[in-house]
Amino acid sequence: MSPTPPLTRRAIFAQAWPIMLGQATVPLVGIVDTAVIGRTGDAAALAGVALGGTIVSFLFWSFGFLRMGMTGLTAQASGRGDTDEVSALLARGLAIGAGMGAALTLLQVALIPAAFAIFAGGPAIDTAARAYVSARFFGAPAALAVFAINGWLLGLGRTRAALALQVWMNLVNIAACALLVWHLGLGARGVGLGTAIAEWSALLVGLAIVAPQLRGIGWARVADRAALARLFAVNADIMIRTVALLTLLAWFANAGARLGAETLAANQILMQAVALVAFVLDGFAFTAEARVGHAIGAESRAQMLRAIRLTGEFSLGAAILFAVLIAFGGATAIPVMTTNPAVQAQALALLPFVIVLPVIGMPAWLLDGIFIGATEGRSLRNAAILATALYIATDLALRGHGDTGVWIALTLSYVYRAGALGAYVPRLLRRLA
């Protein structure tokens, strides 16, 4: 049986800070990509990267269960002391991720036209977005396999290894995008190619990190039908949950695109700040995933309750800190991101929404981590579907209020999601009563 890790504030922070640092580099890449295009002053190109990024995120993160389901299942196997299953989960995740990514690459000839038939843009925006999306698809097999590696590392609490992998991928991404856009003049296509190159490099580094765990693995255990059935059952619900939330974000991006290139570009800039907050606070949510999963594997209700309380304390404090930082620094950061006066004005007008979002969104992000660690796929699925439906209804009701209505609906979506997941908390606690 694996030893139970300590559940102290110091231990929680020691586990969370590498995730926070690594996660912070994820939106920083988006910020750099946005700035690389934004500094050209071309609103259509910036809007194209925003729209293309939404499409790629929708398609790739539909398979985000490879990260989330892997974390919860690995943590529970570790809590039971089942080292063979820990290794088998890694092999299953890599095989499924690479296979599904290859299928995405092959199907892009049908998926890309279908995506642009749904999203509103316009000729100039669509041209840039198509160039970005087609380039990103070359990295699909690597991207999905890296999802599995990251989820497995986080499930074991190996957050420093996950940090190293994330930082490597993002540094390569930043360097490649700057080279391809500024020096080779490839525009939106260069941003997409830079990210694809970074994903393949990250897969090579990730395989080097986990290679010892794959040596001597029993492949009969990897192909165990019961384990595969559980993996797909958990992941099917998480996939539906992820698609629902991606639909929400895609609807938000499309709402901005409907209002014009300047509005879409302004929303893209503001969403970089939202993404930065969400990804950094995910440091505590991911820690909650591992700790809750370990507690369930060890059948310890006391561990689970303490894990929820400690990660909740840290999450709330960090959310308040971010709100203060955005309130004082947001107006200074926007002109750095774009030189277009119309885009700057639009982003400044909507900045108050970004200031309040850290505190409003924090409960939803933390609850996601708790339920992912518990592999409560049905709760996650149902809450996401309900929150997305309520969000779309709110957005439609506020169509007459322009981009302000778009941001009000997005803000309320986090309230809907937290409330829906909160309703399932008593049932989760009864699981270890």
Average pLDDT for the chain: 84
Instruction: Please give the pLDDT value at position 124.
Output: 66
The answer to whether 202 and 172 have CB atoms below 8 angstroms apart is yes
Burial letters for 155-176: b for 16+ Cβ neighbours within 10 Å, e otherwise?
bbbbbbbbbbbbbbbbebbbeb
Q: What would the 3-class secondary structure string for 154-196 be?
A: HHCCCHHHHHHHHHHHHHHHHHHHHHHHHHCCCHHHHHHHHHH
Residue 321, pLDDT score = 94
Going by pLDDT thresholds of 50, 70 and 90, the confidence category of residue 371 is: very high
Over pLDDT 90: what percentage of the chain?
27
Considering only residues 187 and 345, tell me which one the structure prediction assigns the higher pLDDT.
345
Nearest to 92 by CA among 202, 229, 212: 229
For 283, 356, 384, the CA distances from 277, given in Å and listed in that order, are 10, 11, 20
**Predicted confidence (pLDDT) per residue in 146-158, tens digit:** 999 998 998 888 8
pLDDT band with cut points at 50, 70 and 90 for residue 209: very high
Q: Report yes or no: 228 and 203 within 8 Å, Cβ to Cβ.
A: no
pLDDT of residue 409: 95
Compute the average pLDDT of residues 20-45. 66
Q: pLDDT value at position 119?
A: 63
What is the per-residue pLDDT for 330? 81
**Contact assessment for residue 264 and residue 257, using Cβ atoms and an 8 Å cutoff:** yes
pLDDT at 170 > cutoff 80? yes
Q: CB-based contacts of 50: which residues, under 8 Å, 6+ apart?
A: 34, 253, 256, 264, 265, 267, 268, 271
Whether residue 3 has pLDDT greater than 60: no
pLDDT tier, 43 (very low <50, low <70, confident <90, very high otherwise): low
pLDDT given for residue 2 in this prediction: 44
Number of H helices, E strands in the chain: 16, 0
Q: In whole angstroms, how far apart are CA 293 and each of 52, 80, 221, 263?
A: 35, 10, 21, 41
Instruction: Please tell me whether residue 365 adopts helix, strand or coil conformation.
Output: helix
pLDDT of residue 26: 63
> pLDDT digit string (tens) for 77-105?
888 877 888 888 888 889 889 999 999 88
Predicted confidence (pLDDT) at residue 178 exceeds the cutoff of 90: no
Please report the pLDDT score of residue 41 as a whole number: 59
Token readout for 3 is: 């030893």
Residue of higher predicted confidence among 73 and 38: 73
pLDDT at position 1 over 50: no
Per-residue pLDDT, 273: 84
**Binning pLDDT at 50, 70 and 90, where does residue 25 land?**
low
Instruction: With a cut of 60, say whether residue 315 has pLDDT above it.
Output: yes
Cα(187)–Cα(128) distance, integer angstroms: 8
Higher pLDDT, 418 or 269: 418
**Coil, strand, or helix at residue 7?**
coil
Tell me how far apart the alpha carbons of residues 277 and 282 are, in angstroms, rounded to a whole number: 8
Residues 57-68: pLDDT tens digits? 778 877 877 888
Q: What is the mean pLDDT of residues 159-176?
A: 87
Name the residue with higher pLDDT: 369 or 29. 369
Q: Whole-angstrom Cα distance, residue 148 to residue 128? A: 30
What tens digit of pLDDT does each residue of 255-282 get?
887 777 788 788 888 888 888 888 788 8
Whether the predicted pLDDT of 24 surpasses 80: no
Q: What average pLDDT score do residues 113-123 get? A: 68
Q: What is the pLDDT of residue 20?
A: 78
* Mean pLDDT across 336-358: 87
Backbone angles phi, psi at 101, to 5 degrees: -65, -40
Residue 386 has pLDDT above 70, yes or no: yes
